[in-house]
Structure 1
């Protein structure tokens, strides 16, 4: 900071070794010839001796006093900042306390990492993981694996469960479920699943996993029924709230739902698989083709040399490099994918067989049979995909099966060699899905889907569907609570004794019923008279926009369009379970495994912050 004396002097232009006094214009030496020896002592002495008693000296003394005070203040402030910095340095070197908010936040993120990433609890003991956290936050102390398994996981589970409870309480008027039983390959553990989905008031689809609990002993209908009652009670879900349960076609599961008094529906994908297996894949000529195909794929699957040779041939022939797919005997569509991959690599396989040995090979007739067979399996595979999508509902079942039956009824050029299989597949589909036209879960959902309405019914089914829908709407309207009416004091006093009041009640009841019935019929007729929307559009978007126009129909749509048509949600859950209970965690208890699955599936539904 420059000296205040320079407010009263100016450096000489021709020689900077001198300063000119602004008051008397006298040249005053600055203390030497070099800039390193310059000072302000001569300048101050000049003011005190030459301008004593003058205003100039008084101004200088005032400026000097002010500058001295400012300098002292800056020095004190600088010292305080230095003290604060030292205290902060000491504080930053101290580890976080266990109850520190930062510690809690990091613990929560580590627990989420374990649950969402399918990590074993032992990951917190890995030196590399501990080194990473120490580098990111040196003050954080990573707890033991027992802390995360016994403290952090239950705490996170409770947070998520509380949120799911609130969602069900707020919007779970009618809930649809899926269930299945899974047995681990690496541990003697069986689990019973329960997933739920429903539509909220704005027709947004809500999905949650509720249980994947241990299912010990024999899987009898009585045991499954008892487990279901316990699971529903745990979530305070009454049986009136249960719209339908999607299950497999096992007898014990069907009987269990009957004993529980719950409406249930067989998984469409499972039912279609049974039809394909018994009508197509069980045929001798086709079964032989499948057996040979498995041998060919197995040859390449178990030999890196053979795989490398096939890849080189694909390059030479200008074909896209692709691996042959192995099928799973219990999944017909995996057999479809295997045969498709073989057909795509037919040229490469023929070239391979010229120079190298294959355990088996398909004849020209068998190649033709496979190609024709895939033409009837392709729509079945496409239907399975559509039915297994997250947006598929029970409304898609009848239209999809009707479309498949019509396709199988058509005669085309590719029927050569597979007419019997095609005919048997049609019979199997008709037999196994004969009940869907009488399932209210399916035909009411179809009518309430604006993409289909009643277009896929014959006249008899249309009439029955309209009668059931009308009855449902009238029952729904009659069960709605009466709006509260203001009454005079006279009405209150004579509520039970006025004859006139009885007349009014009878007239009001009958007039209301007639009006409600008329409104129900009008809504149905108005809804059905409008054209269907394209299949690419969402029925939920339609009802979100039209729930005010058709209020009673919208309530029914919210119920019936909540139902899925497959138990794929439970199967996907158990695919995740296979990652939780794997070879690294084959001793993990079912209770902990269920918590991990619950958190993994439902944590994205919980808004942040979670812990």
Structure 2
């Protein structure tokens, strides 16, 4: 009924020693696996009369630790995806700080760790909202817009920067009117309460008084920005690139989106590219010409997107 295994005592210290601090996710997966096999481990300990097992308080501590690390693991997976961009940085940091600052019943035994993690995140990303790359990418992402800035001063300054970019990108006729797209956003999945994804919904649901757009020059560009920000954000499961590709109402904003939604927020994709190259050129395939290796690598990374675009247009 249960699959059991035995780890020799002389291997325990090796496992703990190899679990480097930078590999915290392996600790999380280990603790989560322990919780999943809690019943099996209890049966195994009773059948073989093990000299030491986890106590009830230790099991509670393991569960509290996994709940504390769960948002970090979920965030890591999201920002390491191929669709992640610079727009995900500020909202993710704000959500993570909200979760760490929120008191929960499962904090027993990990309150100090939680407070230390909050302090470390706040210190590391203290000036992230002041970086134009991240602030402009966030506001131009239709999933977030201007809902995830912690200070009104940062929001107003981002509005001004976006206005300057729109005015610079505006090259169309002021009397030109674009037709709205009739395609609606996909249905949003309901996240588990208290999870990393649910906190996004809580922040978006907060009613905040919209700041008046002072010093707004006349013309079509500011009108685009006002209409764009007045509409509700699209679901997080929707693609912001698809939104700007199909939406024809904001042509000048789309130009800004093409410039700021293209930057990834991590180096994971480039590292995956290096890994893919090592699979193409290996020990038993080391005489490929450079040009052919580049062509194979290009096909491997771009063929799925080409097939997806073909299926969407057909």
The reply to whether TM is greater than 0.5 is: yes
Q: CA deviation at 1:380?
A: 1.2
Q: Distance in 2 between matches of 1:352 and 1:396?
A: 44
Q: Distance in 2 between matches of 1:432 and 1:553?
A: 31
Q: Distance in 1 between matches of 2:163 and 2:27?
A: 45
What is residue 585 of structure 1 aligned with on the other side? 284
Q: CA deviation at 1:344?
A: 0.9
1:477-492 matches, within 5 Å, as 477=170
1:372-411 matches, within 5 Å, as 372-411=64-103
1:475 aligns with 2:168: yes
For each residue in 1:371-392, what CA deviation from the matched residue of structure 2 results, as whole angstroms up to 9, or x when unmatched?
1011111111111122222222
SS in 2 for 1:465: helix
Does the 8 Å CA contact 1:299/1:358 hold for their aligned counterparts?
no
What is residue 184 of structure 2 aligned with on the other side? none
What is residue 560 of structure 1 aligned with on the other side? 260
Does the 8 Å CA contact 1:395/1:561 hold for their aligned counterparts?
yes
Q: CA deviation at 1:340?
A: 0.4
Q: Distance in 2 between matches of 1:429 and 1:297?
A: 38
Larger relative contact order, structure 1 or 2 (CA cutoff 8 Å, min sep 6): 2
Q: Distance in 2 between matches of 1:384 and 1:338?
A: 17
Q: Distance in 1 between matches of 2:263 and 2:148?
A: 19
**TM-score, length-normalised on structure 2?**
0.68
Q: CA deviation at 1:543?
A: 2.0
Among residues 60, 67, 81, which one is paired with 1:368 in the alignment?
Answer: 60
Among residues 270, 282, 289, which one is paired with 1:570 in the alignment?
Answer: 270
Q: CA deviation at 1:581?
A: 5.5
Q: CA deviation at 1:555?
A: 0.6
Q: Distance in 2 between matches of 1:359 and 1:387?
A: 43
Among residues 351, 369, 374, which one is paired with 2:43 in the alignment?
Answer: 351
SS in 1 for 2:7: helix
Does the 8 Å CA contact 1:299/1:359 hold for their aligned counterparts?
no
**TM-score, length-normalised on structure 1?**
0.37
1:532-543 matches, within 5 Å, as 532-543=233-244
SS in 1 for 2:43: helix
Distance 1:370 1:559, change over 3 A: same
What is residue 335 of structure 1 aligned with on the other side? 27
Q: CA deviation at 1:565?
A: 1.9
1:48-59 matches, within 5 Å, as none
What is residue 524 of structure 1 aligned with on the other side? 225
Q: Distance in 2 between matches of 1:385 and 1:440?
A: 25
SS in 2 for 1:299: coil
Higher strand share: 1
Distance 1:601 1:525, change over 3 A: closer
What is residue 198 of structure 2 aligned with on the other side? none
Q: CA deviation at 1:481?
A: 10
Among residues 134, 152, 159, which one is paired with 1:459 in the alignment?
Answer: 152
For structure 1, the residue ranges without an aligned partner over 5 or more in a row are 1-295, 304-326, 483-514
1:431 aligns with 2:155: no
Distance 1:590 1:378, change over 3 A: farther
> Aligned residue pairs: how many?
253
What is residue 188 of structure 2 aligned with on the other side? none
What is residue 109 of structure 2 aligned with on the other side? 417
Q: Distance in 2 between matches of 1:528 and 1:606?
A: 32
Q: CA deviation at 1:417?
A: 0.8
Q: CA deviation at 1:358?
A: 7.0
Does the 8 Å CA contact 1:394/1:441 hold for their aligned counterparts?
yes
Q: CA deviation at 1:529?
A: 1.8
Q: CA deviation at 1:590?
A: 9.7
Q: CA deviation at 1:596?
A: 4.8
Distance 1:416 1:438, change over 3 A: same
Distance 1:605 1:364, change over 3 A: closer
Q: Distance in 1 between matches of 2:245 and 2:300?
A: 30
What is residue 546 of structure 1 aligned with on the other side? 247
Q: CA deviation at 1:357?
A: 8.0
Q: Distance in 1 between matches of 2:6 and 2:293?
A: 34
For each residue in 1:130-176, what CA deviation from the matched residue of structure 2 results, as whole angstroms up to 9, or x when unmatched?
xxxxxxxxxxxxxxxxxxxxxxxxxxxxxxxxxxxxxxxxxxxxxxx
If you compute each CA radius of gyration, which structure gives the higher value, 1 or 2? 1
Distance 1:404 1:297, change over 3 A: farther
Q: Distance in 2 between matches of 1:543 and 1:527?
A: 11
For structure 2, the residue ranges without an aligned partner over 5 or more in a row are 12-17, 174-215, 308-314
Distance 1:347 1:567, change over 3 A: same
Distance 1:403 1:297, change over 3 A: farther
